[in-house]
Structure 1
């Protein structure tokens, strides 16, 4: 067989580390890979696919790769395709003939997002659950419109809720999505409320924190009729949102074992990326399809779990060994858990950065041994720099960051900020600023632009901080809802109309009297 190192030399790419090689040439069986930040997990996943194809274990079209974003799916698919094309060119003719000829490399691995795969599965097998395969997936904007109509038409009790209609709509959509991701129903929520009432009835004097739990549960229960009405509205229109789609696909896979047989016969190898961010619905879907000893490789890092707000659980990765055993329990025998391996060498950060990260992760590693202590890659010993500062105001913080960046860009040094040799001067594109929330973007942007540092704010949230875009959004909000006072005030006080405070007061007074004038009173 071609070894991972020989394959790397054929493709003219860096040879894998011992840890990476162990993953690349692992047997065709379930395996979990805990890959630290910057440890080359994407490269390792692509290399495993190419190694399996190069050694005749699997054809490319019988490989399934799932990840969370379309961008990651496209990058992984393109990387595998490039490697396979290169391998077809460099392999000797006799080796190609032994593997079955050049046609072996013609197929395409199926690499998609978890939700896209669930959509395909639902479309193929919806009839098994007496559902229409043509049920249309709606966008978040359409879902908002439908939910908003449900909220506006609701006349039930709302004594526990004093929110605006838009806030109620947002809460209904978020809670509906949470229920779908957890495969729960409104009756499950009411059941939790009944148990909480029993527990608190036994307390002589509940603490404030305990009373708050009851109050939040009461709010959730008052939202349940709205969530049920929202579900009925989608059912009548034969439409589904993303949460519904994943929950329905999980239900189909769980109730119909033949669906798993079909998928296992179609895909000989399954790769699951960012597995620490899978939800309960995704876990049920994947376990129902591939948990019978099928070759499934799950890659993730509990320290990088970012989707807990929508039902994801880093514990899914830690429980992979028991959820996807090498040999399931048969005839009373105990199941054989899947192996768990680690990628602990980071090629992204220097030694000092990794030392700081290790201190932050100490509490998480105390709960499980699966979280690796990252070590630097070759040439990164002693590199990296960690600075910490506390400020009285967010304005001071933004100013300090801008000043620090300006100093780095103007400094004439032979050593880079991380301690590496400075080959060429730093460019603006070499610097990145990460913020915890979007509300920090405008301050950072103004501080950087004040020092003539060009700024690119990545993502839609960043675009919404641009004044011209904010004016467009405000105009659209006022057109949709004339009572959107904040947006209307922005437009009236802006450069187009330039109304002052006295004019706004007079306008507000006139608007308040206008309906009565229309009635002639």
Structure 2
């Protein structure tokens, strides 16, 4: 690929990023605007034009997956030698290299978990702790360290930002605990992950020879997700730069969702102040999501802007949200649903997922996102009952699974005896069959299916690698696959496992799916009840924005009015959707409004309307709603199936309000697919006709 080809593959704004090869550069990149494409092409263009030597470029990001994706894209662009790593991985590599020279011997062992050392420190201070409080105290220690707050400064620094100490402790106790924790580590001869950055930064600051060697090696820096840098990471970055200006940062203030861990958008928002004359490029063309999804995302942030104007704190410049411009054709309208209880919500979402899978959407392209990890259990049960495979993001790491470790060992062994003429994917299948893999998945769910899905992910990766090699005019070998897996294992960049993803909104950052279900959109969960300040509530809104922008095509938001079946309907949907929830008066816009028609699909102005009886406004609507519920109960009894599998409450409410008079009108209502239209359409229309007649006669 020539340098001209690299530029031709970009849009106008992305091309501006690629051409900004020198000096400080700030890229404000909205969700789905191709920021990774822009910065990898920038690096590749710099190498192709001779401005960069590959080995002098260090690109850092925040997750191993993102770093792995960057390396993969650079390799596809024909650029080898660029270092793309997380902050911790880059720092650990440098610390390990210089430690023998500066300190002598091997570097200290790194604590994988702080909990044992925190518990020891607490016991020394006679602080009463349990498993939960130890976890909370460990998180607070981590916040202090990434914020460059010492035990001596903790009380003042936490009070200055009104940061509460973990429950059950005062700030003085936490300050003493931080000091005791450091003593425990020193006695054990270990360091934690934050120490890796602290020690390297100190080494660079105190040893001129080390700093000169590192700065001679790395001359060009790229920092992705710059809105999430902590003071500690910025301190290390400053040491790497040593006053130089060859820095490109990429970020979006509207996606700042980790401030509780010490991340801050301050450095992104003040970049042009810290680096006068910096080039600023805005990426706003959204290639990920349909206009319906983009419209909802923009309107959500516009709501925050309206509130800012009311408070007299309207944001300007880099702090103002980017307004995305959708580039994809119109898609289905965004769905909105209210359920009676959590169980019904989980079952309803599982049923919708089943419809999407039956219509051709791969399970791995579907996600259910929620605010807290505790919400996952209901969806696990509902999906299992529906026979839909799933994986909980944040569970056991892929490369730590026994079947994956065994498969890697077998593949390494086979590499020494394989026939070089046999296609690599065929060899992989033959090897894994001996380890229990089969061409068809097992019928059973549970551990057997999870084991098969892990090995199937290796098979799929082998196919992808072979296809990529053929496209480049070469041929992938088993050794190439093993090397790819070793690199991915070191970076924890797992291949895709087939199954619906269940994840918290925080864990979903940086990912995307064809279909996303945002569950639990009620006050107390979104925003979370712990968000008591304006800043905390604003971050919760940004978290919802991140969730919305994970969806490419299908997006549905829902909440349950009560926690348990038969419980009091005391919940109300999140304030963030005020003016955006269908059926509300005077809303500034609706999801998908004005999107037009795409490929014969539903009109962009069609949305799933009322959510249940509460949203119906006339006696006639309420009566028809009850008649529909009675009809549904009869069908459920006759077919021996749960009522919600016939039609969910939200769909009945929509029918009661819209009163369709034909199959075509009924088909426009969300929740009624072709199968249900054929099965229930005529009888639903008969109920509607009867309800309308009765209501008319009464009036």
- TM-score band, normalised by the shorter chain? 0.5 to 0.7
- Equivalent residue, structure 2, for 1:299: 250
TM-score scaled to structure 2, two decimals?
0.51
Q: 1:438 aligns with which of 373, 379, 388?
A: 373
Structure 2 distance, partners of 1:222, 1:180, is 16
Q: 1:384 and 1:22, CA in 2 relative to 1: closer, same or farther beyond 3 A?
A: farther
Q: After superposition, what is the alpha-carbon deviation per residue over 1:180-234, rounded to whole angstroms, capped at 9, x for unaligned?
A: 10111111124458989xxxxxxxxxxxxx9x96997961211322221210121
CA distance in 1, matches of 2:166, 2:192: 29
Partners of 2:110 and 2:190 within 8 A in 1:
yes
Task: Tell me the CA shift for residue 28 of structure 1.
Answer: 1.0
How many residue pairs were aligned?
Answer: 392
Deviations 1:378-407 (A, max 9, x none): xx2433521222334211211221222233
**Conservation of the 8 A alpha-carbon contact between 2:58 and 2:222:** yes
Matches for 1:33-432 after TM superposition, within 5 Å: 33-84=27-78, 108-124=81-97, 134-141=106-113, 143-155=114-126, 158=127, 164-191=129-156, 219-254=170-205, 260-290=211-241, 292-323=243-274, 325=275, 336-362=276-302, 363=304, 366-370=314-318, 371-377=321-327, 380-410=328-358, 425-432=360-367
Measured in 2, the distance between the counterparts of 1:174 and 1:308 equals 12
Q: Quote the Cα distance in structure 1 between the aligned partners of 2:289 and 2:159.
A: 50
Q: TM-score, normalised by structure 1?
A: 0.67
Report the CA distance between 1:56 and its aligned residue: 1.1
Q: Does 1:7 align with 2:6?
A: yes
SS in 2 for 1:118: helix
Aligned 8 A contact 1:30 1:294 in 2? yes
User: Once the 2 structures are TM-superposed, how far is the Cα of residue 80 of structure 1 from its aligned partner?
Assistant: 1.0
SS of aligned partner of 2:84 = strand
Q: Which residue of 2 aligns with 1:94?
A: none
Q: Deviations over 1:56-115 (max 9, x none)?
A: 111111111111122222221222123126xxxxxxxxxxxxxxxxxxxxx511121101
Report deviation, 1:153. 3.5
Structure 1 residues 132 and 309, CA gap change in structure 2 (3 angstroms): farther
User: What is the correspondence of 1:475-486 to structure 2 with a 5 Å cutoff?
Assistant: none
Deviations 1:250-279 (A, max 9, x none): 344455666554433212221111111110
CA contact (8 A) 1:65 1:112 kept: yes
Shift of the 457–135 alpha-carbon distance from structure 1 to 2, 3 Å rule, reads same
Contact 2:111 2:190 in 1 (8 A): no
d(CA) in 2 for partners of 1:461, 1:437: 18
* In structure 1, distance between residues paired with 2:268 and 2:159: 32
| Structure 2 contact 350–383 (Cα < 8 Å) conserved | yes
| More moved, 249-258 vs 221-230 | 249-258
2:666 corresponds in structure 1 to none
- In structure 2, the residue matched to 1:451 is 386
Offset of residue 24 of structure 1 = 0.4
Deviations 1:265-310 (A, max 9, x none): 2122211111111101011111233263421111122222232221
Asked if 2 retains the 8 angstrom alpha-carbon contact of 1:151 and 1:168, the reply is no
- Does structure 2 retain, via aligned residues, the 8 Å contact 1:172–1:227? no
Residue 511 of structure 1 is matched in structure 2 by none
Deviation at 1:122, TM superposition (A): 3.4
**Compared with structure 1, are the counterparts of its residues 447 and 228 closer, same or farther at alpha carbon in structure 2 (3 Å cutoff)?**
same
Kept in 2: contact 1:261–1:289 (CA 8 A): no
Do the aligned residues in 1 keep the contact of 2:111 with 2:191 (CA within 8 Å)? no
Q: Which runs of 5+ in 2 are unaligned?
A: 309-313, 399-444, 449-699
**Structure 1, unpaired ranges of 5+:** 10-14, 86-106, 197-209, 326-335, 412-424, 470-521
